[in-house]
Amino acid sequence: MFTPKYPTPDTAPTADTSLVQPLTGLVHPPACDCHHTTTTAPAPVPAPVPAGRPSVQFTPGALVVAAAGGTALVLVVGTVLVSMLLAVAITAASVAICAVVLRSLLNHQHNR
């Protein structure tokens, strides 16, 4: 009852590689009939990253910028949170003052 029940594996047919023909020997016609030659330089191959070294390297300037950005982010988020807390505190104080005033007005009417 508590053992998992796995579905049966798919029985899809495997790909038949005998139908695939290689693309060797195909000649593409030129895009224009200008009879000019074009030389293209081979694409540069990036140097392999040696094992044991991190793939991201920061320069001292980038570290200073990252530290300054992080500090600015913390200051902005802190300012927003403190201002929200201050708004809640001011609202609570004003509601408390209104409650005291209403209570004193209602008590004053009942005493007369």
Does the pLDDT at position 26 exceed 90? no
Q: How far apart are CA 92 and CA 86, in angstroms?
A: 10
pLDDT confidence of residue 58: 80
Q: How far apart are CA 63 and CA 57, in angstroms?
A: 10
User: What pLDDT, in 10s, does the model give residues 30-81?
Assistant: 666 666 665 666 777 777 656 666 567 788 899 999 999 999 999 999 999 9
Q: How far apart are CA 23 and CA 27, in angstroms?
A: 10
Q: How far apart are CA 65 and CA 53, in angstroms?
A: 22
